[in-house]
Structure 1
Amino acid sequence: MLFTVLSGLITSGLLIPFGKFFKSRWSVLLACLPILLFVYYFSYIPDISLGKTFNQEINWIPSLGVNLSFRLDGLSLLFSLLITGIGSLIVIYASAYLKGHQFLDRFFAYLLLFMSAMLGLVLSNNIILLFIFWELTSISSFFLIGFNNQQKESRKSALTALTITGIGGYFLLIGLLLIVYITGTASIDALFAQASFIQQHAYYPYIVGFVCLGAFTKSAQFPFHFWLPGAMKAPTPVSAYLHSATMVKAGIFVLARFTPILGNTELWSYTLLIAGGVTMVYAAIHSLFRTDLKGVLAYSTIAALGMLTFLLGLGTREALTAALVFIVAHALYKAALFLITGIIDHETGTRDLTLLSGLRKVLLPVFIAGTLAALSSAGLPLSIGFIGKDLIYEATLHGPQQLALYLTIIAVFTNVILVTVGFYAGIKPFLGPLPEAFQKVHLPYRAMWVPPLLLGILAFILGIFPHLLGGSLIQASLQVMDISTAPVNLKIWHGFNTVLLLSIGTLALGTIIYLVQKPTANKLAFIEKFNNLSPKHIFERMGALLLRFSDFYTNKIHNGYLRSYMLKIIIFAEVLIGYELLNSGPISIDFDKLSPISFYEGFNVLILIAAVLFTVSTRSRLSAVVGTSVIGYAICLIFVFYSAPDLAMTQFTIDTLTVVLFVLVLFRLPPFLNFANKLDKIRDGFVAISFGVILSIVALKVLQEPFETQVSDFYGQYAYSLAKGKNVVNVILVDFRGFDTMFEIVVLSIAALGVYSLLKLRLKSSEKE
């Protein structure tokens, strides 16, 4: 399993030096990788359908409990097949859709990187490893969404998606770390056995909140949904792959994976039910008014994701079965509709529903694919979409008795609108008269229209033979999420019952709305009047406030003046240390234990004070340098008085060298420019004196503490035996604190290189301006 995850990463890396060979027709060969991966995982279906689970674990960072641990069960296999299967068709489609693009190799590198990240996410058996792949999907999707980086809107959409999913990732990490903290393990296998312990822990509500926030942002749940319509600025293959079958399903996968661990509680169920219910209704309504094909598909995708969250929140066996079937059904028909939208845009140059019609006359195979996908979306009998909608209604009708009616009404309402918008995307552009502007439209490369046609046909094959799906993948996936081992029996026909009536009614009402309600620019303008109340607008205003605060903070705190930085650092230190001193109680000093101050010590301190006063009062730079040198030499004498000749010699050497360097550099500079007013001088003097007083109190406080020699005894005892050195100070710096010293040297070396580069910098006159 590890190799399958790394294969995409390796191929992505190889496209950097060898990508030029795949900018021509050979780019279709890259589809071999996802096809081989699909075949590899497909071969596991017989074993997985029998309830087997395959594990692989490789030590990575055992000290942090992070291992390359992978688990292949029914749920991860279902998602792996969707990722690799639809990924194969997307690569084939993109090789024709983006043919001749100057950055085609870069596109495939990002796409394969994303595929590997998704595989790693669904296969992870370690929640920290899961989070690493979770973040990798966000980063790789950022590059895919912003692939057309010359367009401002694409860059903005990519940043918005990264921001929202990045914030969600932060909360998800907190939730996962809380789980590790209270259980002591990061293994998902081990967490299954500790589900009851986690649910009874005091941190359980916080874990649910953080995990759900993370999943909701990635799966575009209200109010975090707005990044998904914006992400439609990405090339169509990206939209088809990320926003129908993979990335947005990552949040759904996490909720499904953690259902056995965090589920079956009221907090979990109602959180998912409310979030999913609000999302599906809100997005379904919005999808009715969109005139851009991608906009229609984006909001209908959000509605479908809300439906999946809603079903996971319901949490019954019927609801989980419906969610799993709907994941497959939605991936098939929505990926097909996205690909068809890309073909229409590629051939006609527009995605405006108010302009498109009659394309069946010039794009017949595409029309067939669109019709099959739209009918599966609508839930026509003999399609997998029909079985999915039947299962949804069965789940809501058998839900909590007091809520069953309301849950069913919400589900019917959403599905009716999804029928309508499915017809908008898959059928409407092909019916009616063909406008003159589209007379010269021709059928594109087979690599573009064959993939959506295959997806549409597969939706009906699985609908006609549902046991191919139910008896293997759905059954195995359900065993991971539900303790019941009852067999899953998907049927085409359940007889005349309430569920069938609801399905027929949904199809009929959706068709009627499709025939009566047509999206127009006026209707879209009407709905956009309420944009000021939308979550997107609220988040944008919050972002604007954050920018204004950042601007204020930067100008006030990071204003570029060293004296300002020093002042703030010292004030902060004074407040922090002063607060601690106040809380630590009174100070009592036994002066009898202090050695008396000799005449030469007192005289040396007077010289030091005089040097300080001279340094801060002079207007000459050279005089200030001389004053600081006197201060340094006075401190050297203090070290000598208190038996620290090594420190005195070091101080003396550094001080002398510093004085020489300052004199060489500063003697040509003008006198000090005195910008500070009288109040600033008083403030600075007060801060400086306060800092000196606080440090004096700290020194006196230290004298109260009993003298401990454990550390010094350790170094003295082991300096020679462990490090073979007789100079204890050198041994501490080089051996016991070797890494610290090494990084200090690295920092100084980098600083030296920076200074040297500035000294050697030669700017042109235009650059200086």
Structure 2
Amino acid sequence: MVFAVFAPLIFAIIIPFISRFKRKIHTGWLILPVPLLIFIYFLQFVGRDFSTIMQSTNWIPSLDISLDFYLDGLSLLFALLISGIGTLVVLYSIYYLNKEEQLGHFYTYLYIFMSSMLGVVLSDNVFVLYTFWEFTSLSSFLLIGYWHYREKSRYGALKSMLITVFGGFSLLGGIILLTIVTGTTSIQEMVSKSDLIINSEYFLFILVFLLLGAFTKSAQFPFHIWLPDAMEAPTPVSAYLHSATMVKAGIYLMARFSPIFSEVPLFFVLLSIFGLVTLTWASYMAVRQTDLKGILAFSTISQLGMIMAMLGFGTTYGVFAAVFHILNHATFKGSLFMIAGIVDHETGSRDIRKLGGLMTFMPISATLAVFGTFSMAGVPLPFLNGFYSKEKFFESSLHLEGSGTFVEGLITAAPIIAVVGSIFTFVYSMYLFFGTFRGEYQESELPKKPHEAPIMMLVPPAILVLGVILIGLFPNFFNHVLISHSADAVYGDSVTKKIKFWHGWDSRAFQMSLVVISLGVLLYLTKSKWDSIYSFLPGPLSFNRVYDWIVEKVESVSNRITTFYMTGSLRLYMVLILTTIIIITASTLVFTGGMNFDVNDLAPITTAEIIIATIMALGAIGTTIAKNRIAAILILGVVGYGLSILFVMYSAPDLALTQLIVETVTVVLFLLCFYHLPNLESGTKSFTKTGTNLLISTGYGLLMMLIGISAYNSRFAETISTYFMENTYKLGGGHNAVNVILVDFRGIDTLFEIAVLFGAALGIYTMIKLRQDKGAK
């Protein structure tokens, strides 16, 4: 598994070199075997009498962080989707992107994302999961902004980054609290310690942080606004990230952590409410869109809301339906995104108002779209997998349990909301297909004459549509080898459900489907009569406006703050930096008990030390009042050379020698750089400036003194000098402890000190040589 996770990342490093041959062969062909082999690797686990598999590699043992990859039914389902659909997306992109594009960039970003998603779904260590989680945000930002010369692409990329990274930080907060409470970084061990988590004082924070992480990533209301703008990415990106992988990362997170909250009704209530609201609102808004990918974006949001709601139901019916629909949605939605890309590629437009009548010109694409849209709509046909999982959704909404007024209200409302959201799902599905492939052909509205796509460009969506049909015809085969194992992993116990097409006329779920189809057909046929409602709901209201306002205000405030301190004044910068250091460090010392000011154990001060210190102090003061540059620099050198003398007195000749050389180089550098130095200020300095300088310099000096004394008096172990004195002769063979320490015990440190001296000498020689050469000319 380790190689399967990192293989795309390894190839991402060499893709820029491979892409140099793109004029001879498309880069996609060269890297296509990578996801295909990963898919084949995970395919071998399908159908087994499944038991979990763990592989572990040490990474940061001191922090209990290791690369623990865990394979069970849930992670296997996602790994197959990531690698399988990833293979089809790479094949599709070969015909979607021409060789003039920056293919090296595209495939590098895509493979980083693929590796990151595999890491998310296979990681058992929460910090490793978070690392991969943030890599998905970063790589998706690069993919969405791939056509960076387009303003909308940059806007969509930034929007997705800001919202998902906000959720990522929330997730990190929840993860940190989980590790504090449980004392482990393993998800499986956290599940076994769910009682500790539920009874913890941090429980509410853990719950909120995890939900924020999942809701932002999986585009749940009200964080859904980033997904429609992400449609500015190339269609292969949309088909991969926004239908099968990235947007389902939040779904995966909730599924993986749901056993921890199995005894917490609030968790499931929140998931159900936000999922149902997302389903209804997004399906309603999808009918309003005119861009093909915009319709599909809102349809994806609504489908994600439906899956989240099913997880929130928390029953065996809900968990099974959620896992089943994760698989089904990936097949029909991935194919529809690819068909939308084909329509755009072959007609030059995605505006559904300009499309119509394309079935005559693109019969194969239209046929594939029929299966995809009708499956998404939940039309009751035995070869459409979407109908089966839609029935399971209705069935799960009818089997809710719980007590309390609020929960009972949710139990009553859930089937109604499920029907309403599904009605609009049916409407936008019919709108998508018939608005594109049926109706009147508008030749004058299209940039180019439509025609069918190349056969190899049709192969990826055809394979996904074949998946729609096969799952529809043989649902229990897929249930036995894959779906039930995934549901077991989520529910934490055996989930055995039979998938049947026909449940009888008295089946309430089937009756709900009939209501959806009847009202859906009616609303679709009368769409022009009622779609003016969108001018009232949402009307001018928009979460996009809220987002834009927040971003604008943050930028405005940041600009004012930056303008305040970025004045070009070096003095102001030093004042701010030193003041911050003084305040933060002093506060830390005081509030953490680090202030340990005790002078009883300090060595006595000798007369020589007092004289040298006084000379250094006078030199420092003299530097500030000198009127001549050369005088100021020479006086400043007195401080450095005085420090060298102190090193000699404290038996540290190596430090003294290093200080002498570096001080000499510093003085020489100042003298050589006179030309670039600012003019010395003339006149008397203001009282405010002088007082500020005096206050900060005094405060900083006192702080360093307090740190030194406190550090000396805060010893938590025996001094190492005892060890050196006892072993100088025994291990080093010398009587001079300092020499033996420098040459033997700290030989590497001495080596680098010599390197510093060499660098300083080389710098001096270079400057002198340049000066001589210039004089010779």
Q: TM-score, normalised by structure 2?
A: 0.86
Does 2:84 correspond to 1:75?
Answer: no
Does the 8 A contact of 2:347 with 2:451 survive in 1?
no
Task: Tell me the CA shift for residue 280 of structure 1.
Answer: 2.1
Give matches, 1:118-129, under 5 Å.
118-129=117-128
CA spacing shift, 1:135–1:586, aligned 2, 3 Å: closer
User: What is the distance in 2 between the residues matched to 1:580 and 1:502?
Assistant: 63
Does 2:615 correspond to 1:616?
Answer: no
Aligned counterpart for 2:562 among listed residues 538, 554, 569: 554
**Alignment partner, residue 326 of structure 1:** 325
User: What is the distance in 1 between the residues matched to 2:663 and 2:11?
Assistant: 57
**Alignment partner, residue 455 of structure 1:** 464
**Alignment partner, residue 439 of structure 2:** 432
Task: Tell me the CA shift for residue 647 of structure 1.
Answer: 6.6
Q: Which amino acid aligns with 1:474?
A: I
User: What is the distance in 2 between the residues matched to 1:595 and 1:614?
Assistant: 28
User: What is the distance in 2 between the residues matched to 1:349 and 1:230?
Assistant: 19
**Which stretch of the first structure deviates more once superposed, 422-431 or 185-194?**
185-194
CA spacing shift, 1:730–1:161, aligned 2, 3 Å: farther
Give CA-to-partner distance per residue, 1:347-374, whole Å, 9 cap, x none.
1111111111111111111111111111
SS in 2 for 1:487: coil
User: What is the distance in 2 between the residues matched to 1:748 and 1:425?
Assistant: 73
Q: Which amino acid aligns with 1:305?
A: L
Task: Tell me the CA shift for residue 96 of structure 1.
Answer: 1.4
SS in 2 for 1:226: helix
**Alignment partner, residue 417 of structure 1:** 424
Does the 8 A contact of 1:618 with 1:624 survive in 2?
yes
CA spacing shift, 1:365–1:261, aligned 2, 3 Å: same
Task: Tell me the CA shift for residue 391 of structure 1.
Answer: 1.0
Q: Which amino acid aligns with 1:16?
A: P
CA spacing shift, 1:644–1:110, aligned 2, 3 Å: closer
SS in 1 for 2:67: strand
**Alignment partner, residue 571 of structure 1:** 579
Does 2:500 correspond to 1:501?
Answer: no
Does the 8 A contact of 1:284 with 1:418 survive in 2?
yes
Task: Give the % identical residues.
Answer: 38
Q: TM-score, normalised by structure 1?
A: 0.86
Task: Tell me the CA shift for residue 68 of structure 1.
Answer: 3.1
CA spacing shift, 1:253–1:742, aligned 2, 3 Å: farther
Task: Tell me the CA shift for residue 330 of structure 1.
Answer: 1.3
**Which stretch of the first structure deviates more once superposed, 555-564 or 281-290?**
555-564
User: What is the distance in 1 between the residues matched to 2:37 and 2:652?
Assistant: 72
SS in 2 for 1:69: strand
**Alignment partner, residue 774 of structure 2:** none
Does the 8 A contact of 1:376 with 1:460 survive in 2?
no
Give matches, 1:387-402, under 5 Å.
387-400=388-401, 402=408
Does 2:529 correspond to 1:530?
Answer: no
Does the 8 A contact of 1:294 with 1:351 survive in 2?
yes
Give CA-to-partner distance per residue, 1:191-214, whole Å, 9 cap, x none.
332233332333332222222222
**Alignment partner, residue 385 of structure 1:** 386
Task: Tell me the CA shift for residue 12 of structure 1.
Answer: 3.2
Does the 8 A contact of 2:595 with 2:710 survive in 1?
no
Does the 8 A contact of 1:322 with 1:395 survive in 2?
yes
Task: Tell me the CA shift for residue 492 of structure 1.
Answer: 0.5
Does the 8 A contact of 2:658 with 2:756 survive in 1?
no
**Which stretch of the first structure deviates more once superposed, 265-274 or 299-308?**
265-274
**Alignment partner, residue 685 of structure 1:** 694
Task: Tell me the CA shift for residue 756 of structure 1.
Answer: 12
**Alignment partner, residue 412 of structure 2:** 405
User: What is the distance in 2 between the residues matched to 1:742 and 1:428?
Assistant: 75
Q: Which amino acid aligns with 2:547?
A: F
**Alignment partner, residue 306 of structure 2:** 307
Task: Tell me the CA shift for residue 379 of structure 1.
Answer: 0.8
Q: Which amino acid aligns with 2:487?
A: L
User: What is the distance in 2 between the residues matched to 1:592 and 1:134?
Assistant: 52
CA spacing shift, 1:661–1:13, aligned 2, 3 Å: closer
**Alignment partner, residue 496 of structure 2:** 487
Task: Tell me the CA shift for residue 65 of structure 1.
Answer: 2.9
User: What is the distance in 2 between the residues matched to 1:375 and 1:282?
Assistant: 21
**Alignment partner, residue 767 of structure 1:** none
CA spacing shift, 1:230–1:627, aligned 2, 3 Å: same
Task: Tell me the CA shift for residue 316 of structure 1.
Answer: 0.9
Q: Which amino acid aligns with 2:417?
A: I
User: What is the distance in 1 between the residues matched to 2:580 and 2:682?
Assistant: 25
Does the 8 A contact of 1:67 with 1:129 survive in 2?
yes
**Alignment partner, residue 216 of structure 1:** 215
Task: Tell me the CA shift for residue 612 of structure 1.
Answer: 4.6
SS in 2 for 1:57: strand
User: What is the distance in 1 between the residues matched to 2:764 and 2:520?
Assistant: 70
Give matches, 1:747-766, under 5 Å.
none
**Alignment partner, residue 35 of structure 1:** 36
Q: Which amino acid aligns with 2:385?
A: I
CA spacing shift, 1:517–1:754, aligned 2, 3 Å: farther
5+ residue gaps, structure 2, are 403-407, 771-777
Give CA-to-partner distance per residue, 1:719-744, whole Å, 9 cap, x none.
56566776655766787778888889
**Alignment partner, residue 97 of structure 1:** 96
User: What is the distance in 2 between the residues matched to 1:416 and 1:210?
Assistant: 33
User: What is the distance in 2 between the residues matched to 1:73 and 1:172?
Assistant: 23
**Alignment partner, residue 775 of structure 2:** none
Q: Which amino acid aligns with 1:450?
A: V
- Paired residues in the alignment total 756
Does the 8 A contact of 2:217 with 2:250 survive in 1?
yes
User: What is the distance in 1 between the residues matched to 2:289 and 2:725?
Assistant: 78
**Alignment partner, residue 441 of structure 1:** 450
Does the 8 A contact of 1:619 with 1:671 survive in 2?
no
CA spacing shift, 1:717–1:432, aligned 2, 3 Å: same
CA spacing shift, 1:644–1:167, aligned 2, 3 Å: same
Does the 8 A contact of 1:471 with 1:489 survive in 2?
no
**Alignment partner, residue 547 of structure 2:** 539
SS in 1 for 2:69: strand
**Alignment partner, residue 269 of structure 1:** 268
